[in-house]
Chains A and B, each alone.
Chain A
């Protein structure tokens, strides 16, 4: 990953309100590496806990990747929208297996319940990735979901990180999202 992009990640939340919402536009070829770098940076904050929504990789694979990247998972709770679609879920203390990436109502309810149940004051929501929501849902539905969820994050005082692949975002959604988030960080170049 370019040094310039590492700097952009480090400075992303600078000069923003405490409960910031960030949208990262990521280069597809560096997607995993960038994702890990962003998560590491967010987790650097003291006594922070987070909800990680995984739409691309099953929980078991994601845990393996996080370990390989030396990212501790003890303060993370996972909402896995993939594993159940292939019938491979095994009960975990820090993961809830949701029906599918299409069931946005279930996802919204889960975010609300888990965020309220987390004991830490400093919390974040990590959405990996918006692009996958668009593979499984219509653009309009995703736009409404994002409007609802970003509002919910403000009310619940959650920090927010959303990832999207370059070129993937529907222009209409991109326009809306720019209004919902505090900053868009383009790491695609």
Chain B
């Protein structure tokens, strides 16, 4: 599939479906995550960005460079830890002590959904599997997806293909509305 076709397929699914899982190969992750984020930012008024890979500071720079509207985002930063200072930008951030703290993360996302957030963007679900057993992360994802559905919001789950076993990918496929594999 050409790059153009991939982008239009992602755009179509993100517009039509509530919960989408995007499977990225590691080599294309950095490039594609920005493309997906731009589409999500275009179609949603408010986005809760759960970052398991990059600290808030890096994200702010990345958003600046790529002209992504920071004001739309609430960031849940699972990387920086509770010791970091909040970046002086026009952006709200919640710090989670570690990617292992799935309970804290779940509470933070629930609060974001209660505020009326339109889209929860999880970058990347597979990173949590570095810290927790696959089955624990699958149950966490299932709970998160159910919360998003109950709030009539949307969700985008990024998964790095090489980091997740095919059995766990199958489990996740069952919970979402569409799987886009790049």
Report A's interface with B, CB cutoff 8 A.
28-29, 31-32, 56-58, 60-61, 82-83, 85-86, 88, 129, 131-132, 135-136, 165-168
The 10 closest A-B pairs by CB, nearest first: A88-B150, A28-B170, A28-B173, A61-B149, A86-B146, A86-B147, A165-B170, A82-B146, A31-B174, A58-B149
Which residues from A are CB-within-8-Å of B151?
88
* Interface of A, helix, strand, loop or mixed by DSSP: helix
* Interface of B, helix, strand, loop or mixed by DSSP: helix
B146 in contact with A167 (CB, 8 Å): no
B166 in contact with A167 (CB, 8 Å): yes
Cross-interface CB contact of B174 among A56, A58, A83, A86, cutoff 8 Å:
A56
- Asked if A135 meets B138 with Cβ closer than 8 Å, knowing A58-B149, A61-B18, A82-B146, the reply is yes
Cross-interface CB contact of A131 among B169, B171, B177, cutoff 8 Å:
B171
Q: Which of B104-156 contact A (CB under 8 A)?
A: 135, 138-139, 142-143, 146-147, 149-151
Which residues from A are CB-within-8-Å of B179?
28-29
Which residues from B are CB-within-8-Å of A131?
170-171, 174
14 examples of A-B residue contacts, CB within 8 angstroms: A28-B173, A28-B174, A29-B173, A57-B149, A85-B143, A88-B146, A131-B171, A135-B171, A136-B139, A165-B170, A166-B170, A167-B170, A168-B167, A168-B170
Q: Which residue of B lies closest to A82 (CB)?
A: B146
Q: How far is the CB of A165 from chain B (nearest CB, A)?
A: 5
Which residues from B are CB-within-8-Å of A32?
177
Name, among B138, B142, B143, B174, the residue most crowded by chain A CB atoms within 10 Å (CB to CB): B174
For chain B, give the interface size range. 20 to 34
- Asked if A129 meets B174 with Cβ closer than 8 Å, knowing A135-B142, A167-B167, A168-B167, the reply is yes
Q: Which residue of B lies closest to A62 (CB)?
A: B149
Bound state CA distance, A61 and B170, in angstroms?
Answer: 20
Q: Which residue of A lies closest to B149 (CB)?
A: A61
Quick check: is B175 within 8 A (CB to CB) of the other chain? Answer: yes
Q: How far is the CB of A128 from chain B (nearest CB, A)?
A: 9
Report B's interface with A, CB cutoff 8 A.
18, 135, 138-139, 142-143, 146-147, 149-151, 166-167, 169-171, 173-175, 177, 179
Bound state CA distance, A56 and B139, in angstroms?
Answer: 11
Cross-interface CB contact of B150 among A29, A31, A58, A166, cutoff 8 Å:
A58
Cross-interface CB contact of A60 among B142, B149, B169, B177, cutoff 8 Å:
B149
Q: How far is the CB of B155 from chain A (nearest CB, A)?
A: 12
Q: Which residue of B lies closest to A89 (CB)?
A: B150
B174 in contact with A132 (CB, 8 Å): yes
- Asked if A168 meets B173 with Cβ closer than 8 Å, knowing A86-B147, A88-B150, the reply is no
Bound state CA distance, A61 and B142, in angstroms?
Answer: 14
Q: Which residue of B lies closest to A84 (CB)?
A: B146
B170 in contact with A135 (CB, 8 Å): no
Which residues from A are CB-within-8-Å of B146?
57-58, 82-83, 85-86, 88
Bound state CA distance, A10 and B174, in angstroms?
Answer: 23
Which residues from B are CB-within-8-Å of A82?
142, 146
Cross-interface CB contact of A83 among B135, B150, B171, cutoff 8 Å:
B150
Bound state CA distance, A86 and B175, in angstroms?
Answer: 15
Bound state CA distance, A86 and B138, in angstroms?
Answer: 15
A168 in contact with B150 (CB, 8 Å): no
Bound state CA distance, A32 and B86, in angstroms?
Answer: 42
Name, among A32, A86, A165, A166, the residue most crowded by chain B CB atoms within 10 Å (CB to CB): A86
Bound state CA distance, A168 and B142, in angstroms?
Answer: 16
